[in-house]
């Protein structure tokens, strides 16, 4: 008999599962679709009434170029936009800042001011599309720019629907695009919760992300454990700011990866819903069922894509998307097959969207709710992942809090150790990656990648110079002074921040002022 395979979380996968492998009290663990503990999905009908929201993550170069891509995606049938910002924007720097040199428009769109945001969404009905923005440390800044553009088009905040990622804790763990230290960063998150409850009530104020930890090497069990532990930290921060749990918890959302290990991924999603439901009800006293529902967006695993034989990535992405759907995702982004090489071309982006459309309209996945319920293997895996994730969360909270564990380097060390083990398995051929360590070919067909115009940096600098020359400098100074006073005090900073942006203060100026007040985060050299 061949040696048993292990799951990515480290559990042995049995050759045959039987009823004896099912967890005890399965009925109470499962519940019904749309009912506590939501293992079978957060809505009673799931995809039988409508499919998941099909998003495509896009953004590059100038706001005008990205706007053209958004219109193309909407014509192709995407249901929601997902904005990628360039690295300077993610770090709160203007395009003409010296530190931004060489990075403007490269991994996303450059947004320096309200004028760029106007161009980004020109001709797009913001009351009819759902917009997700992958932005963290300056998440509140970009949300306010979006709201200001909507208001210029006659739309109130109550008409807007979307999500800002706004998850700063995972930046300290796995991604690195942080600006401020944890304490003021959590204050900014809590201020955003309070602002949106009053001003943009349908907006998802945070997308608590395991995706980036998974891309850094976290196992499925680590991904949900560290993500949900961060979620607990955000809940605590909001409660400490005086918010009631049922006032903000229904607007929390999550963001996970979908790997090619389909069965374990389905189990992971089910376990995550069950853990979160019990945490919110039992630990935080939530009464509103919506507070207990773990709603999440999924992106297929970019780290599993290969530059070798890139067409094989079409198969990988289809399997990953299938796992996300079987796991009950609320929205999905499918990566393009060339993303291990370059930004996707229009054709590559369209094929990625078509993958979702085939899953939604050509299969029978949308005919029934939670088709894996009661499966011997999936229920056994769900119980294993749930137990492992709970144990890991206990180890996080043994440090005091998720922030305390971050500052001790706990999550980062655990993820790095998993990534190292995984890389060793690939190098040794114990884990097969088609085209990389098995089934290689001698020559690769050339691929012409999408290239970003190298003149964009100069173009953005010219736009910024024109903006600063034409705006009312005194009005900007007054607005920034009011923002400084709020940041130094305890009032909600989003209201004066919005007025500064309305006066055409730039992203870099707003974030630079907050750096002066709150400082910048410097990771410990202990890890």
Judge contact between 182 and 518, C-beta under 8 A: no
- pLDDT digit string (tens) for 115-141? 999 999 999 999 999 999 999 999 999
Residue 524 above 80 pLDDT?
A: no
Q: At 3, is the pLDDT very low, low, confident or very high (cuts 50, 70, 90)?
A: low
Q: Which domains does the chain have, with CATH numbers?
A: 36-427 (3.20.20.240), 456-518 (no CATH)
Enter the pTM of the model. Answer: 0.94
Structure tokens at 401: 């809090």
Give per-residue burial for 27-59: e unless 16+ CB within 10 Å, then b. eebbbebbebbbbbbbbeebbeeebbbbbbbbb
pLDDT for 296 equals: 97
Residue 340: how many CA atoms within 13 Å on its side-chain side?
A: 20
- pLDDT digit string (tens) for 400-435? 999 999 999 999 999 999 999 999 999 999 999 999
**Strand-pair partners of 81:** 56, 131
Residue 1 above 70 pLDDT?
A: no
pLDDT for 219 equals: 98
C-alpha span between 471 and 49 (Å, rounded):
49
Q: Strands 12-13 and 5-6: what pairing?
A: antiparallel
Long-range contacts of 6-9 (CB under 8 A, 24+ apart): 7/220, 7/261, 7/264, 7/381, 7/384, 8/219, 8/220, 8/259, 8/261, 8/264, 8/422, 9/219, 9/220, 9/221, 9/222, 9/264, 9/384, 9/385, 9/388
pLDDT for 56 equals: 86
Chain position carrying tokens 């100069």: 458
Judge contact between 137 and 171, C-beta under 8 A: yes
Q: Strands 80-84 and 252-258: what pairing?
A: unpaired
Structure tokens at 209: 């992300």
Beta strands in 251-378 (DSSP E): 252-258, 296-300, 331-333
Judge contact between 37 and 44, C-beta under 8 A: no
Omega cis (within 30) before 37:
yes
Residue from 243, 126, 124 nearest 187 by CA: 243
**Helix, strand, coil shares, percent, the chain, to 5:** 50, 10, 40
């Amino acid at each position: 008999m061949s040696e048993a395979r292990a799951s990515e979380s480290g559990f042995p996968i049995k050759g045959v599962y039987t009823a004896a492998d099912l967890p005890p009290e399965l009925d109470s663990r499962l519940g019904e679709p749309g009912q506590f503990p939501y293992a079978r999905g957060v809505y009673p009908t799931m995809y039988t009434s409508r499919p998941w929201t099909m998003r495509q993550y896009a953004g590059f170069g100038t706001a005008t170029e990205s706007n053209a891509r958004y219109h193309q995606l909407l014509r192709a049938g995407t249901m929601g936009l997902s904005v990628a910002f360039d690295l300077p924007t993610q770090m709160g720097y203007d395009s003409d800042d010296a530190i931004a040199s060489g990075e403007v428009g490269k991994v996303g769109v450059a947004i320096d001011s309200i004028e760029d945001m106007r161009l980004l969404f020109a001709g797009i009905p913001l009351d009819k599309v759902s917009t997700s923005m992958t932005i963290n440390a300056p998440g509140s800044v970009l949300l306010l720019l979006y709201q200001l553009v909507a208001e210029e088009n006659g739309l109130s905040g109550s008409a807007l629907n979307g999500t800002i990622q706004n998850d700063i804790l995972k930046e300290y763990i796995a991604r690195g695009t942080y600006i401020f230290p944890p304490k003021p960063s959590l204050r900014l998150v809590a201020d955003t919760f309070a602002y949106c409850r009053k001003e943009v009530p349908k907006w998802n104020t945070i997308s608590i992300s395991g995706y980036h930890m998974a891309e850094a090497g976290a196992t499925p069990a680590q991904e949900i454990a560290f993500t949900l532990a961060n979620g607990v930290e955000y809940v605590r921060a909001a409660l400490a700011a005086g918010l009631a749990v049922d006032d903000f918890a229904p607007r929390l959302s999550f963001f996970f990866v979908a790997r090619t290990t389909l069965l374990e991924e389905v189990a992971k999603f089910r376990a995550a819903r069950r853990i979160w439901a019990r945490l919110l009800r039992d630990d935080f006293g939530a009464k509103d069922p919506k507070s207990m529902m773990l709603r999440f967006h999924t992106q297929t695993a970019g780290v599993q894509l290969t530059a070798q034989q890139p067409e094989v990535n079409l198969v990988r992405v289809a399997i990953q998307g299938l796992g996300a759907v079987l796991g009950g995702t609320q929205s999905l982004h499918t990566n393009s097959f060339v993303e291990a090489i370059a930004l996707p071309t229009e054709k590559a982006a369209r094929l990625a969207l078509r993958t979702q459309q085939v899953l939604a309209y050509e299969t029978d996945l949308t005919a029934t709710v939670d088709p894996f319920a009661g499966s011997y293997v999936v229920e056994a895996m769900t119980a294993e992942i749930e137990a492992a994730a709970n144990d890991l969360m206990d180890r996080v909270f043994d440090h005091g809090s998720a922030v305390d564990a971050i500052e001790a380097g706990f999550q980062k060390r655990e993820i790095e150790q998993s990534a190292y083990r995984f890389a060793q398995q690939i190098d040794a051929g114990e884990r097969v990656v088609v085209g990389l360590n098995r089934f290689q070919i001698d020559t690769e067909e050339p691929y012409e990648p999408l290239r970003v115009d190298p003149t964009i940096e100069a173009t953005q600098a010219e736009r910024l110079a024109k903006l600063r020359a034409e705006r009312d400098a005194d009005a900007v100074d007054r607005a920034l002074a009011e923002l400084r006073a709020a940041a130094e005090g305890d009032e909600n900073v989003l209201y004066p921040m919005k007025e500064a942006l309305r006066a055409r203060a730039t992203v870099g100026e707003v974030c630079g002022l907050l750096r002066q007040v709150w400082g910048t985060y410097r990771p410990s050299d202990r890890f």
